[in-house]
Amino acid sequence: MNKEILYLSPTYPGYVHDKKICDEEELGFLKKVSVFVDLGYLGMSSDNAKIIIPFKHRKKQELTNEQKEYNKWMSGIRVKIEHIIASVKIFRKVKEKYRGRLYLREDTIMLVACSLHNLRLRVKNV
């Protein structure tokens, strides 16, 4: 994992669930990729993507030790993804509600923040 942001969808209000965004955007992958998702994406599928989802704990049924270890491994990867998201949100404009008048300015702000994140990674590696 190189921590670089490779895809950015149009921005949506905070109350819109990520799964709904994926359904509306109809994400397609040109190459075979692995997509790590949480239980909110249950039922997501793609032709070129391998959807990796944790095991769900059901009522009156415990997870096996192997399933617990798998979930622990996956949560370690997801924490790294959350850290990447947090590094984009260090910019105040991204964290707060945009109150400007220009249409689609939020998309430009997010694009700049993600580009600065990727630039910071490249400069750090030089």
Q: What does pLDDT average to over the chain?
A: 82
Name residues whose C-beta falls within 8 Å of residue 1's C-beta, 6 or more positions apart in sequence: 77, 80
Indicate if the pLDDT at residue 81 is higher than 80: yes
Question: Are the beta carbons of 50 and 35 closer than 8 angstroms?
Answer: yes
Confidence band (pLDDT; 50, 70, 90) for 28? confident
The pLDDT of residue 72? 93
CA dist., res. 83 & res. 81, Å (int): 5
Which is higher by pLDDT, 17 or 65?
65
The verdict on pTM exceeding 0.85 is no
Confidence band (pLDDT; 50, 70, 90) for 38? confident
**How would you label 48-84 residue by residue, b for 16+ Cβ within 10 Å and e otherwise?**
ebeeebbeeeeeeeeeeeeeeeebeebeeeeeeeeeb
The pLDDT of residue 78? 87
Mean pLDDT to the nearest integer, 36-51: 79
Segments making up each domain of the chain, as ranges: 18-125
> Could you give the percent of the chain with pLDDT greater than 90?
12
Query: Which secondary-structure segment (H or E) carries 35?
Result: strand 33-36
Residues comprising the chain, all counted: 126
